[in-house]
Amino acid sequence: MKSKSTEDVYEFVRRVARHQGWELNPDDAFLKDVVEGLKTNYNRHGYFLCPCRDGEGDRAADRDIICPCVYNVPDQNEYGHCFCALFLSREFAKRGGVPEPIPERRPE
């Protein structure tokens, strides 16, 4: 497995946001932390395990929390951003919404 650089991961999140019509968190320092978390997880597990959750380290078991996770869209719809506040909905970003901690939607 080829390891990913920080720039690789920036490219990945920018591409996802562009394709999906989402916005990235506008706080550069915050964004960098999430990107670094994604990079660490990719280089450890071989997939983009969500950096704000504890996964199993098994791709099948973690399937629903591989970025962009399946909870992202419902969380954007309800709160304006995903659990990690990496991706913001366009509307939330446009009105200058500030992400806050949100409940975990993933079933236990």
- Rule CB under 6 A: which residues touch ligand SF4? 50, 52, 65, 67-69, 72, 82-84, 86-87
Cα 25 from Cα 71, distance rounded (Å): 17
Shortest Å, Cβ 2 to ligand SF4? 21
Shortest Å, Cβ 99 to ligand SF4? 11
Q: Give the residue with the Cβ less far from ligand SF4, 55 or 95.
A: 55
DSSP 59: T
User: What are the C-alpha distances in Å from 108 to residues 16, 55, 104?
Assistant: 27, 12, 9
Cα 76 from Cα 72, distance rounded (Å): 6
Q: Give the residue with the Cβ less far from ligand SF4, 67 or 95.
A: 67
Q: Give the residue with the Cβ less far from ligand SF4, 7 or 70.
A: 70
